[in-house]
A and B are shown apart, each in its own frame.
Chain A
């Protein structure tokens, strides 16, 4: 079975632009979570979705939004990009919303110029 797939793998944007990142979970997984990892740090939780409902939100500004589709894939949107948004964005899926192992995709590396 395919693992968690993310697209694109790399992206370069300029300040003020908007970006959409995509994630397809492992087949049979109904929960998707998004994380931001800046260089030298551990991943930081952004959102979790389960059965198309937002189940959790980390300490990120409203410029960050996400949604989950009926096929359980997910999109992360970031508006009004700042230099500090440059990071590796990771998506993870699990069978249910909690108490389940999370499996990570390879990430999208976002660079803001």
Chain B
């Protein structure tokens, strides 16, 4: 089945710093989403981005489908950005990566 690899596995930032999270996938996909899972376990949709670039406030994402990767950019990080960020891709079913655990310190 399709493999999804996220990097880095852990990231610690000072408030105000910028970061880039990466998602590599092993096959062509129909769907790619980025999620933020908060400490209470809620999975929040960030982007639905099978290709191209999207921006939403301090967050933006780019997917290069032909090269099988996606990037999530977080600018001017805040403590509320802490949590686990998941990339999920869909071909026949949705496969999640192992996530990037982000900790933003005040």
**Interfacial residues, chain A to chain B (CB-CB below 8 A):** 33, 35, 37, 41-45, 48, 56, 58, 88, 90, 92, 98-104, 106-107, 109
Partner of B93, one of A48, A90, A103: A48
Report the count of interface residues on B (CB-CB < 8 A): 22
Minimum Cβ distance to chain B for residue A102 (Å) = 7
Does chain A have a CB within 8 A of B66? no
**A92 — which chain B residues lie within 8 A by C-beta?**
94
B93 engages A56 (CB within 8 Å): yes
Query: What is the bound-complex CA distance between A103 and B90, given in angstroms?
Result: 14
A101 engages B41 (CB within 8 Å): no
Q: 0/1 per residue, B11-44, Cβ < 8 Å to A?
A: 0000000000000000000110101000011110
Does chain A have a CB within 8 A of B92? yes
Query: What is the bound-complex CA distance between A101 and B92, given in angstroms?
Result: 14
Query: Which A-chain residue is minimally distant from B96 (CB atoms)?
Result: A42
Interface SS, A side: strand
Minimum Cβ distance to chain B for residue A94 (Å) = 9
B98 engages A101 (CB within 8 Å): no
A45 engages B94 (CB within 8 Å): yes
Query: What is the bound-complex CA distance between A90 and B98, given in angstroms?
Result: 16
- Contacts beyond the supplied A43-B86, A101-B45: 14 A-B pairs with Cβ under 8 Å: A33-B94, A42-B96, A43-B43, A45-B93, A45-B94, A45-B95, A48-B93, A56-B92, A90-B43, A98-B30, A99-B31, A101-B31, A102-B33, A106-B41
Q: Which of A42, A45, A56 counts the most chain B CB atoms within 10 A?
A: A42
B90 engages A98 (CB within 8 Å): yes
